[in-house]
Amino acid sequence: GCDAIVIPSRFEPCGLTQLYGLRYGCVPIVARTGGLADTIIDANEAALSAGVATGFQFAPNNGGALLHAIRQLVEAHANPKAWASIQRQGMKADVSWDKS
Q: What is the pLDDT of residue 69?
A: 99
- Mean pLDDT for the chain overall: 96
29-60 in b/e burial notation, b at 16+ Cβ within 10 A? Answer: bbbbbbbbeebbbbbeeebbeeeebbbbbbeb
Q: What is the tens place of the pLDDT at every residue in 29-75?
A: 999 999 999 999 999 999 999 999 999 999 999 999 999 999 999 99
Domains of the chain: 4-91 (3.40.50.2000)
Share of the chain above pLDDT 70, in %: 99
Q: State pTM to two decimals.
A: 0.94
Q: 98 or 63, which is more confident?
A: 63
Q: What is the pLDDT of residue 100?
A: 63
- Measure the N-to-C terminal CA separation of the chain; round to a whole number of Å: 27
